[in-house]
Chain A
Amino acid sequence: MANKGLLKTRFPFYFSLDPMGIKISDKIHQLYENDKGIFRAGEIRSELVKLFREYSELRKMQHAWVDNIMGPVFAAIDITYRCNLQCPYCFVSAGKRKNAPTISKQNFIRIVDLLADSGTLGICLCGGEPTLHPDLLEFISYAKDYDMTVNMVTNGTLINKKFANRLAKADIDLVQVSIDGSRAEIMDRLRGRGTYNRAILALQNLVNNGIITGIAFSATKINISDFPNVAKMCAEMGVNRIRSMFLVPENEEHLKLIPSDEDYKKLVRWIQENQARYQSWIEFGDPTEHIVLGEFIGHIMISINPEGYILPSPYIALAYGNILKDDWHALWNELQCVWSSNPVFNTILNHLRDEKDFLKMNRLSLNRNENEEILNVKELSSKEQRVLANQIKEVLNYEDS
């Protein structure tokens, strides 16, 4: 079934179906032709930036670009860092934390009020494991009262029939469940015994309740060749979106799990050649894209942690301001250009090359393990920001020397 529209590009979200949009997206598609072995944004940074600049300038002239907007279009809110699993590749180390921060009802309401006031059209409830939050259903209903789209990312292990029905009644828009294999022996090896059966049951319960579903497949050396089976199985179950991406390592141990580039290429090629067969939308993402293209699209979506800190990238433990403590409208004006004008974030934008570089940031203790307090760049002096920027530059370029 052909259900993918006419754009072949990896960036269908930003380009319109008009001669200029198609021209630029075709050029980007050519850059990413998998036969050339290129598939990371950082590898074609200058060409990508040039094309996005050309397109955004044209759209600005037409007064139709996402510059100077009222607020983020979408916000991912980590409502808790508690988790009932201990997945080895969790980039927020949820589950291993003894004192995981969790958002209060009062703070959640305040955040949603502020986002709604600046026109935010949707939120995603993330974590940790959001189903562990006792006020989850109330949170969904509260945001829905603002007519926001409400999505959720979950491991699915706690979504039984009754809970799926309650999610449907709360009118949740989309639930993404983590599925890392087509059989229990594959997924349970990664996420723990019993996780596969519970996650599949969750998907069935969600689909049966008419909820739009997606799955996230964390590709590792152990399971990457199983992706086609997962895609086929989930498409047959009626899952709407099937997504995988480069694995983001959080510590040195995780490097052992990272698939080879050859394996990634096979996966991407399989998607290119087979996605038209399925009704489900199948995609492969690059977790560095929003950073490499940060000056154009970095502000469209923001992440907020349980304490209200704004994370310009969910994969980096650096905050810029706090929605609960700062003047939100003033903060938003700064956030819109944080990737281009702030020395720390601009250094990351210019020097981060691939997903393994997130790990290098850990050498500066920029991770989200327990007891690591998040660093709020906004609170640093100009001098401190320059020093940090230089340290980041050094650590990101370390292996080059």
Chain B
Amino acid sequence: MKIAEAEIKKLAQRAREYMARLDIRSSRFVVAKGLKYRKEHDGRILCFSPVTGKISVLNPTMAAIYEEISKKPGLKFDDIVESLCAMYPETSYSKISHDTERALTWLFINGYIKLNDGNDEEKYISFMEAILREGLKNEET
């Protein structure tokens, strides 16, 4: 088997294991450093990573979540849901809560935000760091 493919499979397995345990609702969030972004006139956010060259677009709801975290580093899930409920009063709490969980998971996996999952009180980690930590744990056991 090619080395790169073997590595990718191993990474994917670690990612699945980590995601199965991840509790977004109990986490705190900060935005990832080094990303450049701009807000479009219609509320979308266009993001560019100078390191990887990756360009992506957040829809206005994702953009609102990202901006909220950007303004208030260390924000908790409940705080984000609360501010979105104020922004969209016509939408039910349960829908906003469900959609926020999905949005935060997406933002985390795609490298926009880092989270503190309770493993280390001080440390915010990226998805890739979380997977590497998962690998180290596997090696230890």
Contact A66:B55 (CB < 8 A) given known A121-B48, A272-B4, A274-B4:
yes
Given A6-B11, A74-B48, verify A12-B3 contact (CB < 8 Å): no
Once bound together, how far apart are the Cα atoms of A50 and B123, in whole Å? 43
* Dominant secondary structure at the B interface: mixed
A4–B46 alpha-carbon span in the complex (Å): 22
Q: How many residues of A contact B (CB 8 A)?
A: 42
Please name the residue on chain A nearest to B105 by beta carbon. A18
- A244→B49 CA distance, assembly (Å): 20
Q: How far is the CA of A281 from the CA of B51 in the complex (A)?
A: 10
Binds A, one of B25-33, B37-45, B66-74, B87-95: B37-45
Kindly identify which residue among A16, A63, A174 contacts B44, using a CB–CB cutoff of 8 Å. A63
Contact at A2–B48, with CB atoms within 8 Å? no
* B100-128 near A? 1/0 per residue, CB < 8 Å: 00000010011000000000000000001
Asked if residues B57 and A65 are in contact (CB atoms below 8 Å), the reply is yes
Smallest CB–CB gap between B128 and chain A, Å?
A: 7
The minimal Cβ–Cβ distance linking A140 to chain B, given in whole angstroms, is 14
Kindly provide the distance from the CB of B61 to the nearest chain A CB, expressed in whole angstroms: 9
CB <8 Å contact, B12 and A149: no
Q: Does A245 contact B (CB under 8 A)?
A: no
Nearest chain B CB to A44's CB is how many angstroms away? 21
Chain B residues contacting A277 (CB-CB under 8 Å) are 3
Tell me whether A64 and B4 are in contact (CB under 8 A).
no
Shortest CB distance A101–B (Å):
28
Q: In the bound complex, what is the Cα–Cα distance between A273 and B7 (angstroms)?
A: 11
A374 within 8 A of B: no
Which residues on the B side are within 8 Å of A119 (C-beta)?
A: 38, 40, 46
Q: Does A147 have its Cβ within 8 Å of any Cβ on chain B?
A: yes
A77 to chain B, nearest CB (A): 16
Q: Does A5 contact B (CB under 8 A)?
A: yes
A64→B38 contact, CB < 8 A:
no
Which of the residues A63, A70, A147 comes within 8 Å of B60, measured between beta carbons? Answer: A63
Within 7-36 of A, Cβ neighbours of B (below 8 Å) are at 8, 12-14, 16-18
**B59 touching A2 by the CB < 8 A rule?**
no
Asked whether any CB of chain B lies closer than 8 Å to the CB of A375, the reply is: no
Inter-chain contact A281/B8, CB cutoff 8 Å: no
For A273, what are the chain B residues with a Cβ–Cβ distance below 8 Å? 2-4
Q: Per-position contact with B for A258-281: 1 when CB-CB < 8 Å, else 0?
A: 000000000000001111110001
Collect the chain A residues with CB atoms within 8 Å of residue B3's CB.
Answer: 273-274, 276-277
* Given known contacts A119-B46, A122-B50, A149-B48, A14 and B38 CB-to-CB distance under 8 angstroms: no
- 10 A-B pairs with C-beta separation under 8 A: A6-B8, A6-B15, A18-B110, A63-B44, A63-B60, A64-B58, A64-B59, A66-B55, A121-B36, A274-B3
